[in-house]
Amino acid sequence: MEFFSVLITEFAVCHLAIKFGKDLDRLALKPFTNYLNRKNFYIQLKYVEYLSYITSTLGILTLIANLILACTLHNDHWWKDWAIALCLSPFGCYLRFDLSRRFNSKLKHFPLGTFIANFTACVLLSILALLYYGLKSKDSGELLIKNELKRLVIHGFINGFCGTLSTISTFMMELENLNQLDNLNHKYFYYGVSVIGSFISMVLIFGIYGWVIGTI
């Protein structure tokens, strides 16, 4: 029941967001932009480039600040967990971007790069969750990894790296684009392989250990 509740809620809300965004664009944004175009209003490209430079610089400074905090804060500090995750998140984000750029065009009706990113994130998440929550034995109740710093780093990889390597927004947008094709089989094949394949990988890695040991 938990599986179906999360599955239905996540995809229903994301699908509704796409539909609402498109309706908002039609009802509010397009008339406004058309009005500005009639008035010969435009933003020069150089100002957009300046804004890009400013946001990029702020992003790098924020990353450096979080790296310093991750290295200097005490393990018990509440922000250290977030700082580690923020330091790792750009790597997952750029890896997903590179996978999409390299492999999404390989198959016409199957965004292979996004699938690889989501599937890899689920596999890594299962392994890391097993290390974080796993017990050496049911009777002892002893964690596989007890060192607090190592646990913080693992949790940072779960929230930061795996969180940005995987994507629901791009996945839903790709399903919406496949929906424009004549044959809907491609859409539901991509959906089924992505969801079922990722779920099975997590069951095999995370679930089997829990069944063998008796608990997680």
pLDDT by 10s per residue, the chain, length 216: 888 888 888 888 988 998 898 888 888 777 776 666 655 555 555 677 788 899 999 999 999 999 999 999 999 998 999 999 999 999 999 999 999 999 999 998 899 999 999 999 999 999 999 999 988 877 777 888 999 999 999 999 999 999 999 999 899 999 888 877 667 888 889 999 999 999 999 999 988 888 888 666
Residues 115, 117, 118: CA angle, nearest 5 degrees: 65
Record the pTM: 0.86
